[in-house]
Amino acid sequence: MAKVMLLNWWFQIIAAGEAQNFWDAVKKFLADTKTNLTMVSWGVFVVAVIVAGIMFAFGRSASELAKSMIGKVIIGVILVSFAVAIISTIASMGGQTPSFG
């Protein structure tokens, strides 16, 4: 899916032929990518929690692994959910003013 998005983005750039349209295409591609990655991360989160729940319910040694897995999944979801805020904070520490979207 990412390959198709990249090709569509590249063809939009070639067809536009202007610098302003190039940067508009880049902004649109990045906004679409952010949306798609967020949706995929929530899907992975749901599947991982279900698998960890089954492991926790049906195994002794797997129970410890499931606890660890759920902790890592929660940290990953927090990072993905707050990625824009994290990047904005880091950039503002360096004196930059990033804009997303």
pLDDT digits (tens, 9 = 90+) for 47-78: 998 998 898 888 888 888 888 888 998 898 88
Contact in structure between 74 and 44 (CB atoms under 8 Å): no
Q: What is the dihedral of CA 7, 9, 11, 17, to 10 degrees?
A: -150
Q: What is the average pLDDT score of the chain? A: 77
Which residue range(s) make up the domain with 39? 2-93
- 75 DSSP assignment: H
Residue 99 forms part of a structural domain: no
- What is the total count of domains within the chain? 1
Q: What percentage of the chain carries pLDDT values higher than 90?
A: 3
Contact in structure between 39 and 1 (CB atoms under 8 Å): no
Residue 101 forms part of a structural domain: no
Residue 33 forms part of a structural domain: yes
